[in-house]
Amino acid sequence: MSRQDDSVLPDSVPLPPPDAVSVSTACDYCIVGCGYRVWVWPEGTQGGPAAAENALGVDYPVDEASGRWISPNQHGHCMVDGRRHHLVVLPDPDATVVNPGGNHSIRGGCLAQKPWDPEGATQDRLTRPLLRVHGKLRPISWDDAIDILAQISRYVLDRHGRSAWGMKTYSYQFFENTWAISRLAFETIQTPAWAPHDKPGPGNDTAGLDDAGIVPFSASYDDWSQADVIFFSGTDPYETKTVAWTEWMMRPGIRHIYVLPRRTTGVAWAEASGGLFLQIIPGTDTILHLALARIILENGWEDTEFIDRWIAGRWEIDSGFGRGTRNTPWQWRTTWGRFGASFEEYRDWILNNPDAELSSAASVTGIPAKKILAAAEMIARPVDGRRPKASFALEKGNYWSNNYLNTASYSSLALLCGAGNRPGRVVSRMGGHQRGWYGAEAYPRVFSPEKQVGRRRKEIDLDRWVESGHLRFAWVIGTTWTQAMAASQELMDTFRRLTRGSDHQITSARVAQAVQSLKRRVDSGGMVVVHQDIYPVAPIGTEFADLVLPAATWGEDDFTRCNGERRLRLYPKFCDPPGEARPDWWIISQFAQKMGFRDYEWKSGSDVFDQAARSGRRSILNYHPLVVYAHRMGLTGHELLRRLGTTGIQTPVRWRRTLTESQAYRDYAGYVDDPSVAGAIIGTKRLHDAETDFGQPEGPTVHMKWLSAFRSHSGKGLLHKTPWEEFSDFYERIRPQGDELWVTMGRINEIWQTGFDALRTKYLRDRWPMQFVEIHPDDAQPRGIETGDLVAVENRDVLIQTGGFVGVEKGSQSFSGLMNAGQIRIGTGRYEGVAIVTTAIRPGVVWSNALNATQPPNSVVHRVPDPITNRYRFKLGKGRVTRLSESPLKHDLKQMSFRQRDIM
């Protein structure tokens, strides 16, 4: 074996020696969560190309699709016990689920570049707590940091109340952390002032789907693979749920329909494979869904057998089985009468609704009538007596343009086609980030300052709460906050005013004096910001925060979470966190103990995981039976999950005396049948599954209704009418005027989230060195814009809701009502990017990377949430696009490709 440690050349990689430490894990990034293997070994050694000389046990070179080739970006460095180590991170070549054989995305494929390397591109990780003294962040001890955090928190809670003490946190970065966060926020402090990273307040993402009784992550990837046709609304999973698409959906025989304003790689594949592209005008999806439903009903293509068995009738909608769910968001929406409908009521409403007429819909949506007709035929028309198996996938292009109406009308369309609870006939979100929220307690809605007219309280809009000056303390964990929310620049101005604009700044690192300054600030109407993250993040951490806390992340502690098919796996520690960085659960525990709160003395993430298990027993992410089973085996929950490797187990986990599920089901969903322990545990492949025999609930197993029926009162799916008037006042107001264009946005395949890792990886940064603006030639030419030019997108008409927390009079919380009451102000927003002139984007629309944190397109997005659900219409920005200059990238052959991405 070669034992020399070569300096790494661009044309070679060191191979892990046979004694390299190896662990299995899952990707840190997108919802799909591919299985990965990690090899770590000390610098100064490496393996050789013969099978016996390397840890992969294969001879190099390896052949096509071997899953064992290591590209230069799959090798990196990390620290182990204070010593620099080599690191190889490869998709698990032995994976049998999610990414069989080692398929992977470009994002996960570069995971080896992620860990902290003090000599590499990640050297700017946060390593110590920092306090802003005289405007500059300087290191302080953990003891002092926690002391300041606790003292100012105690003061704000006592003096200004729980609603003045808030948190804005990721909702996904591992169960151990989110359970600790939710325990603190919802159970112990009981603050209503909490919002997840991607929306202004808690609650459903896709309320229309939930109201239909469909769990947004009910399907397994294998279920999609059995469809004849998949209808994609507002997403091309090729872009950022890549392997779910390339592995389970890009299959011969499955036709794809895409509803997007932008032609992507997935769309190009669909069109070349017998599918359809419905290039929609942003914001008009509801009309499209209505038109499709009408065509189906006019022709009698609906799935009558399914509807008879599975769709709630009037009695089931109104009465259900008692009053138990009366006072819930679900009931507020569905019993208004305007929305909830039996099949007959829905059919009558559609057939008499002029908005659903094909010619009108074609005009509103911008989609040719014949394509709408073709789509209806593809998803519903029986051929030779056989119904097509149609599945329905949606994501943010759908629910972040017209949240309630789009998701509700989409669900109704899907249910008419018989989708929702069978293989090949599923309805689910494709997802963005992984499912990492494990709530210790429900959001304390009773304390929320918001209230719907005639209904009980609803979840807060935290951004409006901040703008109104009510929040005095904000603990921000793992998010940029301002760039991720609508009207970003206006929000940044508010933060700046409340923090750095205050007269009261810390001028001494001594705890007592620092706390005194912060107390004066909150008493004078200002706000204290704490930012907890892995990197310095602008501007929330670098400019607004008074205290910055360094967090440990993926690979630096043992963590767990689920992917988009509820697959629970361990993400184990294999390297050191940087300096004094600690996992978020540890920071929460230190703070809670300092505050005198009980039962926060966790010694490890494993402790947290086992303790958290009980909280989720009624949740789709329930893993409690796994922990019970593990304890009977003499293991911790983490230890048992470690044995399950990249297969893991699909939640909810069930304990059974004897497994009756087929071997194929067991192998897919994951199971443990240990001869030394009574019974076995098994995962759950699909929810709403009436076909699988789940038996009676046994041992610690909890059977929820949604396991074998829909998640509704009656166990049936619910149809909803979706009157366009609920949205049209806002839509008419925000449509681009004059030379304005729609500004819409999304994720781009090569970059995960804000690029906090990707943009530190030269390979990925070279691909997308800056924000970009895709614009159609018809729009570019009159503005003198060529590919490679630097352009500005400016909106001087950004609508911002300023009040309307409590609704008293009917109609007062609609957009028109808010306008009439003077509760909409007009702000501005602007961002820049390099132009890509392309026919891939619809004329009249520009498209940018939604999550670019340097030039956030959310700046030109209105901050008026959907009044039904408090969700922003992120995808419906607008602006004037002007050429600024030629960008240096125009003639640079080393960075940024301007080629079309829809080449087939």
Partner 1 sequence: MVSPDQSHSVCRPTSVGCSRRHFLEASAAVTTVTLGVLFPNRVFSEDENRSVRVVHLPRQKVGRLSELQIDQPVYFRYPDDSDLSVCMLVRTGERSGGGIGADQDVVAFSCRCTHLGGSLEQEYRSRHKVVGPCPLHLTTFDVTRHGMVVAGHATQALPQILLESDGDDVVAVGIAGLLYGRSRNDQFLSPV
105 binds partner 1 (CB under 8 A): yes
Maximal CA-CA distance, the chain: 80
For position 900 contacting partner 1 by CB under 8 A, the verdict is yes
Four-point Cα dihedral 114, 117, 123, 127, nearest 10: 90
| Site stretch for partner 1 (CB under 8 A), options 242-250, 456-464, 646-654, 692-700 | 242-250
Contact 2, 16 (CB under 8 A): no
Q: Is 524 exposed, middle or buried (0-12, 13-18, 19+ CB in 10 A)?
A: exposed
- Candidate ranges 141-149, 238-246, 526-534, 805-813; the one touching partner 1 (CB under 8 A): 238-246
Residues binding partner 1: number (CB under 8 A): 54
Shortest approach of partner 1 to residue 109 CB, angstroms? 4
319 binds partner 1 (CB under 8 A): no
Residue 507 touching partner 1 (CB under 8 A) = no
The stretch among 64-72, 134-142, 549-557, 879-887 that binds partner 1 (CB under 8 A) is 64-72
10 binds partner 1 (CB under 8 A): yes
Q: Which is nearer to partner 1, 513 or 897 (CB)?
A: 897
Q: Which of 18, 42, 72, 118 binds partner 1 (CB under 8 A)?
A: 72
Among 28, 211, 750, 757, binds partner 1 (CB under 8 A): 750
825 beta partners: 800
The three-class DSSP label of residue 184 is helix
Query: Nearest to residue 410, comparing CAs of 232, 245, 277?
Result: 232
Q: Is residue 749 near partner 1 by the rule CB under 8 A?
A: yes
220 is an interface residue for partner 1 by CB under 8 A? no
Q: Are 125 and 550 in contact (CB under 8 A)?
A: yes
CB 234 within 8 A of CB 401: yes
Is 513 strand, coil or helix?
helix
Q: Does residue 603 interact with partner 1 by CB under 8 A?
A: no
Assign residue 688 a region (left: φ > 0; alpha: ψ between -120 and 50; beta: otherwise).
Answer: left
- Tokens 């399950």 belong to which residue? 644
Q: CB-hemisphere CA count at 13 Å for 693? A: 6
Per CB under 8 A, 269 contacts partner 1 = yes
849 interacts with partner 1 by CB under 8 A: no
Q: How far is CA 568 from CA 158, 318, 370, 645, 671, in A?
A: 40, 37, 44, 10, 12
Query: How far is 203 from 262, CA to CA, in rounded Å?
Result: 29
Q: Is the CB of 10 or the CB of 822 nearer to partner 1?
A: 10
How far apart are the C-alpha atoms of 772 and 843, rounded to whole Å? Answer: 17
Strand partners, 883: 791
Q: How far is CA 389 from the centre of its chain?
A: 27
Q: Does 99 bind partner 1 (CB under 8 A)?
A: no
Return all residues near 363 (Cβ < 8 A) that are at least 6 apart. Answer: none
Q: State the nearest-atom distance from the C-beta of 748 to partner 1, in Å.
A: 9
Stretch of 100-108, 218-226, 425-433, 823-831 lying at the interface with partner 1 (CB under 8 A): 100-108
Mark the segment that binds partner 1 (CB under 8 A) among 404-412, 550-558, 736-744, 888-896: 888-896
Q: Of 83, 84, 102, 106, which Cα lies nearest the Cα of 92?
A: 102
Figure out which of the listed residues 19, 44, 52, 65 binds partner 1, where binding follows CB under 8 A: 65
Token pair of 204 as six digits = 């459903």
Angular region, 774: left φ>0, alpha ψ -120 to 50, beta rest: beta
- Binding span for partner 1 by CB under 8 A among 6-14, 166-174, 302-310, 608-616: 6-14
**Residue 809 binding partner 1, by CB under 8 A:** no
229, 250, 575, 846: residue in contact with partner 1 (rule CB under 8 A):
250
CA 781 to chain centroid: 36
- Which of 29, 39, 41, 60 binds partner 1 (CB under 8 A)? It is 60
- Closest contact distance (angstroms) between CB of 750 and partner 1 is 7
Q: Is 903 in the site for partner 1 (CB under 8 A)?
A: yes
Q: Does 15 bind partner 1 (CB under 8 A)?
A: yes
Report the residue from 763, 783, 803, 888 that binds partner 1 according to the rule CB under 8 A. Answer: 763
Q: Which amino acid is at 662?
A: S
- Could you tell me which residues come within 8 angstroms of residue 372 by beta carbon, excluding any fewer than 6 positions away? 278, 288, 291, 292, 295, 358, 361, 362, 365
Cα–Cα distance, 182 to 171 (Å, whole number)? 10
CA separation for the pair 249, 392 (Å, rounded): 12
**Is 119 a residue that touches partner 1 (CB under 8 A)?**
no
Interface residue with partner 1, options 106, 511, 704, 792 (CB under 8 A): 106
Task: Pick the binder of partner 1 from 25, 45, 74, 849 (CB under 8 A).
Answer: 74
Q: Does 252 sit near partner 1 (CB under 8 A)?
A: no
State the Cα–Cα distance between residues 119 and 112, nearest whole angstrom.
Answer: 14
- For partner 1, the binding residue among 17, 33, 35, 67 (CB under 8 A) is 67
* β-strand pairing of 390-394 with 229-233: parallel
Q: Between residues 60 and 306, which has the closer beta carbon with respect to partner 1?
A: 60
- Closest residue by Cα to residue 303 from 419, 463, 476: 419
Binding-site string for partner 1 from residue 764 to residue 803, where x marks contact by CB under 8 A and - marks none: --xx------------------------------------
| Options 51, 351, 512, 904; binder of partner 1; rule CB under 8 A | 904
Minimum distance from residue 888 beta carbon to partner 1 (Å): 14
Using the rule CB under 8 A, is 893 a contact of partner 1?
yes
**Amino acid present at 729:** D
Q: Which residues contact 352 (CB under 8 A, 6 or more apart)?
A: none
901 binds partner 1 (CB under 8 A): yes
Q: Which of 5, 71, 634, 886 binds partner 1 (CB under 8 A)?
A: 71
| Residue 69 interacts with partner 1 (CB under 8 A): yes or no | yes
Reading the block at residue 475, the tokens are 């603990």
- By CB under 8 A, name the one of 171, 246, 331, 701 that touches partner 1: 246
Look at residue 132 and give its three-state secondary structure: strand
Is residue 752 a contact residue for partner 1 (CB under 8 A)? no
Task: Give the nearest distance from C-beta 784 to partner 1 in angstroms.
Answer: 22
Eight-state DSSP code of residue 435: B
**Are the CB atoms for 121 and 760 separated by under 8 Å?**
yes
235 is an interface residue for partner 1 by CB under 8 A: no
Minimum separation from the CB atom of position 267 to partner 1 (A): 12
Residue 762 in the binding site for partner 1 (CB under 8 A):
yes
- Which residue, 57 or 324, has its beta carbon nearer to partner 1? 57
Distance CA 212, CA 810 (A): 25
Candidate segments 79-87, 574-582, 762-770, 857-865, binder of partner 1 by CB under 8 A = 762-770
Q: How far is the CB of 508 from partner 1 (least distance, A)?
A: 43
Report the distance separating Cα 177 and Cα 179, nearest Å: 5
CA distance linking residue 216 with residue 394, whole number of Å: 9
Position 481 contacts partner 1 (CB under 8 A): no
Query: Beta-strand (E) ranges in 198-313?
Result: 229-233, 255-260, 276-279
Candidates 216-224, 488-496, 648-656, 893-901 — which segment interacts with partner 1 by CB under 8 A?
893-901
CB nearer to partner 1: give 618 or 762. Answer: 762
Tell me the closest approach of the beta carbon of residue 488 to partner 1, in angstroms. 27
Site membership for partner 1, residue 6 (CB under 8 A): yes
Q: Is residue 12 a contact residue for partner 1 (CB under 8 A)?
A: yes
From the number of C-beta atoms within 10 Å of its C-beta (0-12, 13-18, 19+), residue 129 rates as: buried
Q: Tell me how crowded residue 652 is: count the other CB atoms within 10 A of its CB.
A: 27
**Helix, strand, or coil (residue 878):** strand
Stretch that binds partner 1, among 153-161, 303-311, 715-723, 759-767 (CB under 8 A): 759-767
Residues that bind partner 1 (CB under 8 A): 6-15, 49, 60-67, 69-74, 102-106, 109-110, 238, 242, 246, 250, 265, 269, 749-750, 762-763, 766-767, 893-897, 899-901, 903-904
